[in-house]
Chain A
Amino acid sequence: GAVVSQHPSRVICKSGTSVKIECRSLDFQATTMFWYRQFPKKSLMLMATSNEGSKATYEQGVEKDKFLINHASLTLSTLTVTSAHPEDSSFYICSASIQRTSTDTQYFGPGTRLTVL
């Protein structure tokens, strides 16, 4: 299968600080990477879609200046939560897509649990 890693797996930070989360496709080059957020017992919520070398496409209602996405290579995307506040505490999950047969298939990283104090 296709392996996607995320780092860190868990982070606790103070309100007002910025946190960077890395997402890597380990054994394939990803056509597209995605960032999701999930609150406890809630559905996955897509935040943004990114392609290498391009600006990310953000979903409606997601602040692009608060959630900075950099897609530096075909195997690495980063999400920076700027000036984090307690309401940003959530489970952040990335995924990377690879084309299999006639369609792209998404594989998820293990997620990063962010707690903002």
Chain B
Amino acid sequence: QKEVEQNSGPLSVPEGAIASLNCTYSDRGSQSFFWYRQYSGKSPELIMSIYSNGDKEDGRFTAQLNKASQYVSLLIRDSQPSDSATYLCAAPRRSGYSTLTFGKGTMLLVSP
């Protein structure tokens, strides 16, 4: 079973700080990765996808992928209390398939 691992947290950061969320994966063949945000009681919402080694930036969010080390991370700059949520990392269960394997999620708490 291919796995996606995340620290469950909570990760606590003060407002305005950079929050760094990490995810490791077991399948070296994984080509694409997704970060979802899930607020309590709500469904997951796609934040970013990343396919290539390196950084991908979208507003306050930066996804980083290092295939050699098999980790993917999400940085949130200028964290806001509204960013407090559980962040889910996901990768396709098998290359070329749309079924995803999700990590258990990291809870982020941003304090005012």
Q: Which A positions have Cβ atoms within 8 angstroms of B?
A: 1, 31-32, 34, 43-44, 46, 49, 91, 93, 95, 97, 100-111
Contact = CB atoms under 8 A, between A and B. Distances in A.
Pairs A-B, 8 closest by C-beta atoms: A104-B98, A97-B98, A111-B43, A103-B32, A108-B43, A93-B43, A43-B104, A108-B44
Contacts of A110: 42-43
B46 A105 contact: yes
Given A102-B51, A105-B34, A31 B88 contact: no
B44 to A, nearest CB: 5
Interface in B52-72: none
Given A43-B105, A101-B51, A103-B51, A109 B43 contact: yes
The A interface, classified by DSSP as helix, strand, loop or mixed, is: strand
Q: How large is the interface on B (under 10, 10 to 19, 20 to 34, 35 or more residues)?
A: 20 to 34
B34 A44 contact: no
A34 B44 CA distance: 13
Contacts, number: 52
Contacts of A95: 44
A31 B41 CA distance: 27
Which of B43, B51, B92, B104 has the most C-beta atoms of chain A within 10 angstroms of its own C-beta?
A: B43
B42 A107 contact: no
A115 B104 CA distance: 24
B31 A44 contact: no
A109 B49 CA distance: 18
Contact of B98 (A32, A91, A109): A32
Contact of A44 (B41, B42, B45, B102): B102
Nearest to A98: B98
B49 A105 contact: yes
B82 interface: no
